[in-house]
Structure 1
Amino acid sequence: MPSIDLLSRFRDRLSLPLIAAPMFLVSGVELVAAACRNGVIGSFPTVNCRSPEQLDQWLTDIGNRLKAHADASGKQPAPVCANLIVHRSNARLERDIEVLLRHRPEMVITSVGSPAPVLNALHDAGALVFADVASIRHAERAVAAGADGLVLLTAGAGGQTGWLNPFVFVRAVRAFFDGPLVLAGGISDGYALRAAEALGCDLAYMGTKFIATRESMADARYKAMLVASSADDIFLTTAFTGLQTNMLRPSIAAAGLDPDNLPQRGAIDIGKDIDVGAREDRPKRWKDVWSAGHSVSGVAEVLSVDEMIARTAAEYREASTRV
């Protein structure tokens, strides 16, 4: 355990050691607010908002909803957590940070790059900054930069995924870092969540199952495909992003592509995805070709966030009695 428990500031507001993962075009106001009022950290990528102005509106709306819930129930919600893409390709980064600072977030997750450029400002605002990492080398660099916690992206995570076995990754990082760790990849129920704790993690991501909730922004066809799919339907490819990405094989086929005969690495690019002539309705990654993690085998039906978290909590309690 770390000498200072950084999560103590909001641990008593959590019903589960869980984060509803930030998912592109999926995580929105309804999903985040529902997760937080159920005691699960609700996160979303700031780029899900069309502009910094909409980001401000989202944060205000979520805050108002959670305040109303707290006033009515007497129970404080879990933190809202923004996810910042810190790569230089994010032209909005500075303006999004300005918005976040006005709302004084409790927790922020950085992705696709070093957290160093945003750490000081976010720390000054009182936020814990967690860095999304996919290798031991990147974890070491994030710790050296001053990240408060790490999100370990492991094999089996949906979308742009990691490649390390979670058992190996967690134990290797625990050898040099005693701060908060979040396991991302393969968390499909409360049993897996309890196992992540036993492995040495403080929190875990759950993503794919939150896609298949009524509150997510995902297309209804996407949710239905998750219910109908299993881990055998997850296809690892570099064709869509240039990085290893877990996608739903049925969605690739539905988009008119052969999963076993895709273009070379990164050839299908955002904004001009999939060269099928001048058609404006050509399929695009994320919107028409959908991602999921290995945990899709745990998606049996589309539930409300309330129902899904309640089931996960019951599973977690049962798993805890077996230890």
Structure 2
Amino acid sequence: MSRAADRLTRFRGRLELPLIAAPMFLVSGVDLVAAACANGVIGSFPTVNCRTTEQLEAWLTSIAQRLATLEQTSGKAAAPWCPNLIVHRSNARLADDLAVLLMHRPEIVITSVGSPEPVIKQLHDIGTMVLADVASIRHAERAVAAGADGLVLLTAGAGGQTGWLNPFAFVRAVRQFFDGVVVLAGGVSDGVALRAAMTLGCDLAYMGTKFIATQESAADPRYKAMLVDSSADDILLTKAFTGLQTSMLRPSIVAAGLDPDDLPQRGAIDIGKDIDIGARESRPQRWRDIWSAGHSTSGVGGIVPIADLVKQTVSEFRSAG
């Protein structure tokens, strides 16, 4: 048995699919996470989606209660829930959020925007599997050296702040030096793509964009409708909004009164800096008014319950086997 297979054994029987509902800023909330887990998909969310550490505590309590009720009534164990910690020094709440997670003892935690080293020992001490978000071979090697149990490979075509490496090349390069858990992030739009990721050498994959267009997602209804009406041709890769390569929806840029073909080269648009999630200013803000999506936008055919999305993906995955 490989190291990856051994580490996933403890919850494989609770998964309908080898899939993580990706952690999405301002989109992944209690309803999405609980519904994903209830339907056999790992439900993840950025802890910064909570306005405060106290709200994070409330979210985790609510998720745990919902899933406990489900397990009692159905007799079926839910998939794990999975917080996503921003470990960069700019996250002033990191220590407080980590303390809450340690109290709730998640089975899996994803770390992003930096090395998992600052949090990995404490999470390992409570038996948590740590998956590190990486976008390059060098960062993958550093995460492995820090002791990460798995790597989330952010590849070209992912929504939001995206990767740039081809998924085929990235996965195979990582598999040359790492036998832990590998998660593919970027472009997984259905069960066929998920099966291909497994063939490539992955253990799990992210699906993000299609979960935005679900009834349980916290996304603006206009955002969901825009995904239904858009395709991969409507995704613009730009540094104009964040200073980093980011996949954004062209129609949302137009709706904000900007020309997607005439944007500054790098992070020059002043549309609000670090976003106050509770703020509702009149000027457009990235993420809130200018929306992200991945290349899998072409796979979004409607706004559906998560149960229906998972059922369809399961059918596609099995047929592709």
TM bucket, shorter chain: over 0.9
Question: What are the Cα deviations for residues 289-315 of structure 1, in whole angstroms up to 9, with x where unaligned?
Answer: 000000000001000000000000010
Q: 2:265 — aligned with what?
A: 264
Q: Single out whichever of 168-177 and 257-266 deviates more from structure 2.
A: 257-266
User: Equivalents in 2 of 1:77, 1:10: separation in Å?
Assistant: 9
Q: Is the contact made by 1:241 and 1:269 (CA closer than 8 Å) also made in structure 2?
A: no
1:270 positional shift: 6.3
User: Equivalents in 2 of 1:194, 1:253: separation in Å?
Assistant: 36
Q: 2:277 — aligned with what?
A: none
Q: How many residues are matched? A: 315
1:267 positional shift: 1.5
After superposition, residues 214-229 of structure 1 pair within 5 angstroms as: 214-229=215-230
Q: 1:71 — aligned with what?
A: 72
User: Equivalents in 1 of 2:102, 2:144: separation in Å?
Assistant: 23
Q: 1:2 — aligned with what?
A: 2
Cα distance 1:129–1:270, how it changes in 2: closer, same or farther (>3 A)?
farther
TM-score scaled by length of structure 2? 0.96
User: Equivalents in 1 of 2:3, 2:108: separation in Å?
Assistant: 20
Question: What are the Cα deviations for residues 15-48 of structure 1, in whole angstroms up to 9, with x where unaligned?
Answer: 1000000000000000000000101000000000
Report the residue type matching 2:161 in the other structure.
Q
After superposition, residues 143-292 of structure 1 pair within 5 angstroms as: 143-268=144-269, 271-272=272-273, 280-292=281-293
User: Equivalents in 1 of 2:270, 2:77: separation in Å?
Assistant: 43
Secondary structure at the aligned position of 1:83 is classed as: strand
Q: 2:87 — aligned with what?
A: 86
User: Equivalents in 2 of 1:267, 1:79: separation in Å?
Assistant: 40
> Is 1:20 aligned to 2:59, yes or no?
no
Cα distance 1:280–1:103, how it changes in 2: closer, same or farther (>3 A)?
closer
User: Equivalents in 2 of 1:289, 1:312: separation in Å?
Assistant: 28
Secondary structure at the aligned position of 2:13 is classed as: helix
Question: What are the Cα deviations for residues 167-222 of structure 1, in whole angstroms up to 9, with x where unaligned?
Answer: 00000000000000000000000000000000000000000000000000000000
User: Equivalents in 2 of 1:223, 1:138: separation in Å?
Assistant: 33
Q: Is the contact made by 1:237 and 1:245 (CA closer than 8 Å) also made in structure 2?
A: yes
Q: 1:11 — aligned with what?
A: 12
Cα distance 1:87–1:270, how it changes in 2: closer, same or farther (>3 A)?
farther
Cα distance 1:283–1:270, how it changes in 2: closer, same or farther (>3 A)?
closer
User: Equivalents in 2 of 1:13, 1:54: separation in Å?
Assistant: 27
Report the residue type matching 1:66 in the other structure.
L
Q: 2:317 — aligned with what?
A: 316
1:3 positional shift: 3.8
Question: What are the Cα deviations for residues 143-164 of structure 1, in whole angstroms up to 9, with x where unaligned?
Answer: 0010000000000000000000
Secondary structure at the aligned position of 1:204 is classed as: strand
Cα distance 1:83–1:269, how it changes in 2: closer, same or farther (>3 A)?
farther
1:264 positional shift: 3.1
Q: 1:276 — aligned with what?
A: none
- Alpha carbon RMSD of aligned pairs, Å? 1.2
Q: Is the contact made by 1:158 and 1:292 (CA closer than 8 Å) also made in structure 2?
A: yes
Q: Is the contact made by 2:271 and 2:284 (CA closer than 8 Å) also made in structure 1?
A: no
Question: What are the Cα deviations for residues 126-153 of structure 1, in whole angstroms up to 9, with x where unaligned?
Answer: 1000000000110000000100000000
Q: 2:96 — aligned with what?
A: 95
Question: What are the Cα deviations for residues 53-110 of structure 1, in whole angstroms up to 9, with x where unaligned?
Answer: 0000000000000000000010100000000000111000000000000000100000
Secondary structure at the aligned position of 2:84 is classed as: strand
Report the residue type matching 2:129 in the other structure.
L
Cα distance 1:68–1:218, how it changes in 2: closer, same or farther (>3 A)?
same
Q: 2:297 — aligned with what?
A: 296
Secondary structure at the aligned position of 2:43 is classed as: strand
After superposition, residues 40-55 of structure 1 pair within 5 angstroms as: 40-55=41-56
Shift >3 Å, 4+ stretches = none
**Structure 2 residue ranges without an equivalent (≥5):** 275-279
Secondary structure at the aligned position of 2:206 is classed as: strand
1:272 positional shift: 4.2
Cα distance 1:190–1:88, how it changes in 2: closer, same or farther (>3 A)?
same
User: Equivalents in 2 of 1:30, 1:319: separation in Å?
Assistant: 30
Q: Single out whichever of 214-223 and 261-270 deviates more from structure 2.
A: 261-270
TM-score scaled by length of structure 1? 0.96
> Is 1:108 aligned to 2:84, yes or no?
no
Q: Is the contact made by 1:42 and 1:78 (CA closer than 8 Å) also made in structure 2?
A: yes
Report the residue type matching 1:141 in the other structure.
R
Report the residue type matching 2:192 in the other structure.
Y
Secondary structure at the aligned position of 2:90 is classed as: coil
